[in-house]
């Protein structure tokens, strides 16, 4: 596919109109002029009495939720693109590899029992989940597509079961929030959640942006990497750490939002091609914009709120089936 700078630019700027629409829509609707006036009054610290309600809606409810949706969508999508490149497998993402369930278990464990932050616990258990799936699938110096997916499903089932055990012993006051969080929801978004997850996301996204040109080489296989002077195991480990930091930090604040990391990289590849130098920045923008859009629909489609993770799974499962049927079975060794 010939690279198109115009399509690339459209993907990069896609969050702007979607975020603007998301700011306007809701039970308390805002016009574009109202939003600009509210931002200006915030900057100048000159808030009129008639603007107080709008300020609360915009800056304490809607804006943190939209930013958290963007960061989570960016994190899931970019980590998915990285995993697909290093594992040479078009059907993997953090959800399929069990990272989502592992990170969710770690975050819930920290929330109930451990004296550490949920982000750190999510990263540790997310890394354990991905490492376990890779180790189980590794045989005869190679990892087959089908083995990696099956091992990821097993690891995901294991951590999901362990998470269910935690729910049995959890404080009843925390149980409802844990169950809702497992569905993938952004309704509890706050500035504190953004601030707590942002350092992990910045480190993870910096690693993947710096390694994006090497992802092209890693996607060719270990032999090609070695012939070009790269240490494939070292480079893969760095990418896995960066991708795990991204996905696990997103899970710790937004819950399990499945299959975003599977869909978005493929959609972007269909638009601009597989070159990771341009794919990764595009996935960052478009992945964030996608989850903002889906979350906006989920909170406006009915009188009650539907967890965004339900929507992404309903969209993602047919997409996964499509990719599964499209993948040549001969490549599944």
* Percentage of the residues of the chain whose pLDDT score is greater than 90: 44
The pLDDT-based confidence of 328 (bands split at 50, 70, 90) is: low
H helices present in the chain, as ranges:
5-13, 15-24, 32-44, 52-55, 63-86, 99-112, 118-137, 145-169, 172-182, 191-210, 212-218, 222-227, 232-254, 260-272, 276-300, 308-326
CA separation for the pair 242, 2 (Å, rounded): 29
Q: What angle do CA 155, 104, 109 make, to 5 degrees?
A: 105
Lowest mean pLDDT among 17-21, 78-82, 284-288, 329-333: 329-333
Closest to 305 in 3D by CA, of 28, 26, 15, 30: 26
**Mean pLDDT score across all residues of the chain:** 87
The token pair that represents 192 in the structure block:
């504190």
Say if CB 97 and CB 61 are below 8 A apart: no
Task: State yes or no: pLDDT of 329 exceeds 50.
Answer: no
DSSP string, 17-44: HHHHHHHH-SSS---HHHHHHHHHHHHH
User: Looking at the domain that runs over 5-327, which CATH code has it been given?
Assistant: 1.10.3470.10
CA distance 177 to 29: 27
Q: Decide: pTM greater than 0.85.
A: yes
Long-range CB contact pairs, 275-279, < 8 A, 24+: 275/3, 275/216, 276/81, 276/85, 276/212, 276/213, 276/215, 276/216, 276/219, 277/212, 277/213, 277/216, 278/3, 278/8, 279/81, 279/212
Q: How far apart are CA 251 and CA 125, in angstroms?
A: 11
The whole-number pLDDT of residue 195 equals 93
DSSP string of 49-89, one letter each residue: GGGHHHHIIIIIIIHHHHHHHHHHHHHHHHHHHHHHHHTT-
Q: How is residue 139 annotated by DSSP?
A: E
The pLDDT, as a whole number, for residue 327 is 64
Q: What is the pLDDT of residues 203-254, one digit of tens each?
A: 999 999 999 999 999 888 778 888 888 888 889 889 989 999 999 999 988 9
pLDDT category, 330, cuts 50, 70, 90? very low
Domain edges within the chain = 5-327
Question: Tens digits of per-residue pLDDT, 97-119?
Answer: 888 889 889 888 888 887 888 88
CB atoms within 10 A of CB 70: 24
């Amino acid at each position: 596919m010939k690279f198109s700078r115009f399509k690339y630019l459209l993907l990069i700027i896609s969050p702007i109109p979607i975020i603007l629409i998301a700011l306007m829509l809701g039970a308390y609707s805002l016009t574009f002029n109202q939003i600009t006036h509210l931002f200006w009054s915030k900057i100048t610290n000159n808030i009129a009495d008639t603007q107080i309600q709008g300020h609360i809606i915009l800056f304490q409810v809607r804006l943190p939720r939209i930013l958290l949706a963007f960061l989570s969508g960016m994190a899931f999508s970019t980590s998915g693109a990285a995993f697909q490149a290093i594992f040479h497998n078009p059907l993997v993402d953090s959800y399929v590899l069990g990272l989502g369930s592992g990170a969710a278990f770690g975050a819930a464990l920290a929330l109930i029992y451990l004296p550490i932050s949920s982000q750190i616990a999510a990263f540790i258990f997310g890394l354990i989940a991905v490492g376990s799936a890779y180790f189980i699938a590794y045989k005869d110096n190679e990892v087959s597509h089908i083995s990696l997916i099956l091992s990821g499903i097993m690891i995901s089932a294991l951590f999901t079961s362990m998470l269910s055990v935690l729910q049995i012993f959890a404080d009843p006051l925390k149980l409802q929030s844990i169950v809702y969080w497992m569905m993938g929801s952004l309704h509890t978004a706050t500035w504190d959640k953004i601030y707590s997850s942002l350092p992990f996301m910045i480190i993870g996204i910096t690693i993947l942006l710096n390694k994006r040109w090497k992802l092209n080489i890693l996607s060719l296989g270990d032999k090609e990497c070695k012939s070009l002077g790269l240490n494939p195991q070292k480079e893969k480990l760095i990418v896995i750490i960066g991708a795990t930091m991204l996905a696990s930090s997103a899970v710790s604040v937004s819950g399990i939002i499945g299959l975003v990391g599977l869909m978005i990289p493929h959609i972007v590849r269909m638009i601009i091609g597989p070159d990771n130098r341009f794919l990764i920045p595009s996935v960052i923008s478009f992945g964030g914009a996608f989850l903002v859009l889906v979350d906006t629909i989920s909170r406006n489609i009915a009188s009650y709120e539907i967890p965004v993770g339900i929507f992404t799974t309903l969209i993602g499962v047919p997409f996964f089936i499509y990719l599964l049927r499209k993948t040549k079975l001969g490549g599944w060794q």
